[in-house]
Structure 1
Amino acid sequence: MDINFKNDEILFLEGETGIVGVIKVAYENKMLFIATQDNEEIVQFLESDDIIAVSNFKKDKRAIRSQAYLSREESSPIVILNKDHPSTKRLETVLSIGDQVNLNCNITPGTHPEQNVLCSCDSLSGLEIIKTPTGVRLNKEIENYSIEEF
């Protein structure tokens, strides 16, 4: 299933107990800085049509927009917490950035440093979001989605 949207729009994929927002990196190629638990900084190079996917379990579109804005417009680094970090239990908004994002409800926070896996609600689990020049391609049909101004 292909869904097209513009660089100034956000795609919301709504599940039963959570929601994922998707925007394009947009405008230009960028560098993403990832801070690891080993006091290292990884640099990930992004293309302008790569995607930023943000998952939220409170279905809070404002939180999704805010996190996406910080990553795209402010180039805010991503901080990776290890699985034993006390804050992992309080994360309600998480993100993944790249050319493909795989939604999965069966992951433990802090155990998937690769950028293509994103924690999601059960009903969105198994969904693959792949960038296209004009939007995204999903590996299966989804009924509950909307496109809004970003």
Structure 2
Amino acid sequence: MSKKSERGTSGEPSAGQDGRIVPLGRELLLIQGEHSFLLVAKASSRFTLWIETPDDEYCQTVDPDDLIVVSMPEGGPVEQARMMLELVRRYHIPLVVLPKDHPGSKRLSMVVSVAPEILLACGIQRGTHPEQHLLCSSGEFSGVSLGGVPGGVAIQNLPPRTIVKHLNE
């Protein structure tokens, strides 16, 4: 997976024909649907993220333009998602991946991924995917693609009636 952004003919980042670039620095980006939301931030620094799986652990290098995305498929308090995001971004807390069919997956109100590009999908079990490019979401965000680009985030396949707004850090 390449960490280089696509460039349009003008030299500016391009999100493709059906996408857009939203400026993003240290603040947070709230992508709010009718029943769920995503909270997005840039990693803002280079660090090592440990990912703990049932059988192994591995480390992933996180670059400043990589994204940290918290998905709350049934909605809930944004402040809760903000705390989870900051545990990863600021304190580099390891991510824990549950085994497939683990009973605790049903009780996860939020899940998080860290990667240069993240694809949202509703047909996966929460908390069971060590591949950080894939994140469980509600059906309304299934198929949305988020990519970290210099100075912003590229968003593709955003559904209608979605609210995108910046939150102060």
Superposition TM-score, scaled by structure 1 size: 0.92
Of residues 90-99 and 103-112 in structure 1, the stretch that sits farther from structure 2 once superposed is: 103-112
Which of these residues, 20, 27, 31, is aligned with residue 13 of structure 1?
31
The alignment status of 1:74 with 2:91, answered yes or no, reads yes
| Aligned residue in 1 for 2:77 | 60
Conserved? CA contact 2:43–2:67, under 8 Å: yes
Q: For the residues of structure 1 that align with 2:82 and 2:152, how far apart are their CA atoms?
A: 17
The two structures, once aligned, show a CA RMSD in angstroms of 1.3
- The residue number in structure 1 matching 2:129 is 112
Of Structure 1 and Structure 2, which has the larger fraction of its residues in strand? 1
| 1:33-62 per-position Cα deviation (integer Å, ceiling 9, x unaligned) | 001111x21100011111100001223201
Structure 2 CA distance, aligned partners of 1:110 and 1:5? 26
Among 125, 149, 163, the alignment partner of 1:144 is 163
Corresponding residue SS for 1:76: coil
Counterpart Cα distance in 2 of 1:123 and 1:96: 18
* CA 1:35–1:141: 2 relative to 1, 3 Å: closer
Deviation string 1:80-136 (CA, Å, 9 cap, x unpaired) is: 001222211100110000100101111123553211111111111110001111110
SS in 1 for 2:125: coil
Cα distance in 1 for residues equivalent to 2:25 and 2:127: 32
TM-score by length of 2: 0.82
Distance 1:127 1:102 in 2: 6
Moved over 6 A (4+): none
State percent identity of aligned pairs: 33
2:125 partner letter: T
Q: Alignment length, in residue pairs?
A: 147
Runs (5+) with no aligned partner, structure 2: 1-19
